[in-house]
Amino acid sequence: MSKDPAFLFYPGDYLRDTQNFNEHQQVAYDRIMCEHMRNICITQSQLNFFTKRLNEQEKEEFLTYLTKVDGGFCIEWVAESIEKRRVYSEGRRVNRSKKENNICESYDEHMEIEIENEIEDINNKESGKKKKTAKDYTPEFLSFWESYPNKSGSKKAAFDVWIKLGKELPGIDIIQSAILIQKAWRKNANGEFRPEWKDGERWLKNRMWEAEVSSVGGNTVGSPDTPVDDFRNCKECGKRYFKDDLNKNGLCVICGGKK
- Each residue's pLDDT tens digit, 51-63: 999 999 888 888 8
| Other beta carbons within 10 Å of 66 | 21
Q: What is the mean pLDDT of the chain?
A: 76
pLDDT of 107 over the 50 cut: no
* More reliable by pLDDT, 52 or 242: 52
* More reliable by pLDDT, 131 or 156: 156
Domain coordinates of the chain in residue numbers? 1-132, 139-256
Q: What integer pLDDT is reported at residue 163 of this predicted model?
A: 92
Q: What integer pLDDT is reported at residue 243 of this predicted model?
A: 65
Distance, CA of 211 to CA of 182 (rounded, Å) = 9
User: pLDDT category, 49, cuts 50, 70, 90?
Assistant: very high
Q: What integer pLDDT is reported at residue 93 of this predicted model?
A: 72
Distance, CA of 134 to CA of 128 (rounded, Å) = 10
Q: What integer pLDDT is reported at residue 112 of this predicted model?
A: 53
pLDDT of 125 over the 80 cut: no
Q: Stretch 15-39: mean pLDDT, rounded?
A: 87
pLDDT tens per residue, range 183-216: 888 888 778 777 888 899 999 998 998 875 434 4
Distance, CA of 31 to CA of 231 (rounded, Å) = 43
pLDDT of 103 over the 80 cut: no
Q: Stretch 221-239: mean pLDDT, rounded?
A: 58
pLDDT of 257 over the 90 cut: no
pLDDT of 116 over the 80 cut: no
pLDDT of 178 over the 60 cut: yes
Q: What integer pLDDT is reported at residue 144 of this predicted model?
A: 92
Q: Taking the CA of residue 251 as centre, how many other CA atoms within 13 Å lie in the half-sphere pointing to its CB? A: 9
User: pLDDT category, 222, cuts 50, 70, 90?
Assistant: very low
Q: Stretch 68-81: mean pLDDT, rounded?
A: 86
